[in-house]
Amino acid sequence: MKKVTAFAPATVANVSCGFDILGFAIDDLGDKVTVELKEAVGLTVARIEGDGGKLPLEADKNTCTVAIQAMLDALGTQKGMEISLEKGLPLGSGMGSSAASAAAALVAANELLGKPFEKNDLVPFAMEAERMACGAAHADNVAPSILGGFVLIRDYDHLDMVKLPVPKGLYCTLVHPHLELKTADSRSVLRQQISLKEATVQSGNIAGLIAGLYQSDYGLISRSLKDVIAEPSRALLIPGFYELREAVMDLGALGSGISGSGPTIFILSQGRNTAIQAGEASKAVFEKIGLGVDIYVSEVNDRGAYVQTP
């Protein structure tokens, strides 16, 4: 085997009350990476499609190659590999674009090398790519993109991940309004001090959300999908955020929130029909504002990244 293609899904991080500690994976929408073994040692990016020419081809600046290099370093080996990346995800949208590329690259390269690593072990390598791409080694996109489902990052200092169950029939609608929102701006509006009361409310909600996922209790999931810490500041950067919430809650969605650091909004629903209706209602909200929007409807993906060609 000299060539492997893998797919890794888009992800939603900062799941409302799960700010900085929780993410989940989407089905279908994501990036494809093909890794081909070469004679000459060294990693190269041969081509990137679907990025509008925005992503770097330099091996030390591309998340695919940075992630694979971290993996090779861990193995204490050098290899020749040529990477081709097919972006299925918009850049800088808050859907875990850089993470999906790194995840797909790792799963493909791991397969090519005869699977020296379990999926769990790939996460730290992808985090190195996140560190390069956004300055911080976040795991809340790369972990669900690799592992699938909901992944809790209990602790970053000693990477402690917990894969959580996904209730049957849980759907996500992603609403990507055509506006640019820099992660740095989205980060800078966060309050660095919060009240004890707010921290307690947030704790109650993340605890309720985790219990709701284990019990497949949609009512509890819905009541728990509230963020009193990041959302009140960040929602101000996204026009239509609260109008969208009102519209989708009225038609029975479980909750909505900012995906990653935005501007994409995620909506969780029980069942595909509600998720589709939520997408239509969201589109109407943004059309009224005069903003274009892309809508994706998908079941929450429980398998994560996978090899497409054996």
Identify which of residues 155 and 246 has a Cβ nearer to a copy of itself in the complex: 155
- Is residue 210 at the binding interface for a copy of itself, with CB under 8 A as the rule? yes
Annotated catalytic residues are: 130, 183
Which range, of 1-9, 68-76, 190-198, 241-249, touches a copy of itself by CB under 8 A?
190-198
Which range, of 47-55, 87-95, 106-114, 198-206, touches a copy of itself by CB under 8 A?
198-206
Phi, psi of 159 (to 5 degrees): -25, 105
Hey, which residues between 228 and 247 contact a copy of itself (CB under 8 A)? 229
d(CA 88, CA 236): 28
Identify which of residues 77 and 203 has a Cβ nearer to a copy of itself in the complex: 203
Phi-psi region of 169 (alpha: psi -120 to 50; beta: other; left: phi over 0): left
Q: Check whether 251 is labelled as a binding-site residue.
A: no
Minimum distance of a copy of itself from residue 212's CB (angstroms): 8
- Is residue 207 at the binding interface for a copy of itself, with CB under 8 A as the rule? yes
Q: Check whether 99 is labelled as a binding-site residue.
A: yes
| Residue of 269, 273, 274 lying closest to 257 (CA atoms) | 269
Which range, of 122-130, 154-162, 267-275, 297-305, touches a copy of itself by CB under 8 A?
154-162
Which range, of 85-93, 106-114, 194-202, 243-251, touches a copy of itself by CB under 8 A?
194-202
| Residue of 69, 60, 59 lying closest to 125 (CA atoms) | 69
Element (H, E) at 129: helix 119-134
d(CA 15, CA 55): 27
Identify which of residues 38 and 223 has a Cβ nearer to a copy of itself in the complex: 223
Sole residue written with tokens 């704790």: 203
d(CA 150, CA 148): 7
Phi-psi region of 152 (alpha: psi -120 to 50; beta: other; left: phi over 0): beta
- Is residue 205 at the binding interface for a copy of itself, with CB under 8 A as the rule? yes
What's CA 183's distance to the chain center, in Å?
A: 14
Q: Check whether 90 is labelled as a binding-site residue.
A: yes
**263: preceding bond cis by omega (within 30 degrees):** yes
Q: What x/- string results for residues 4 through 43 when contact with a copy of itself is judged by CB under 8 A? A: -------------xxxxxx---------------------
Q: Check whether 95 is labelled as a binding-site residue.
A: yes
State the residues that interact with a copy of itself by CB under 8 A: 17-22, 152-155, 160, 162, 164, 190-196, 198-211, 214, 220, 223-224, 229
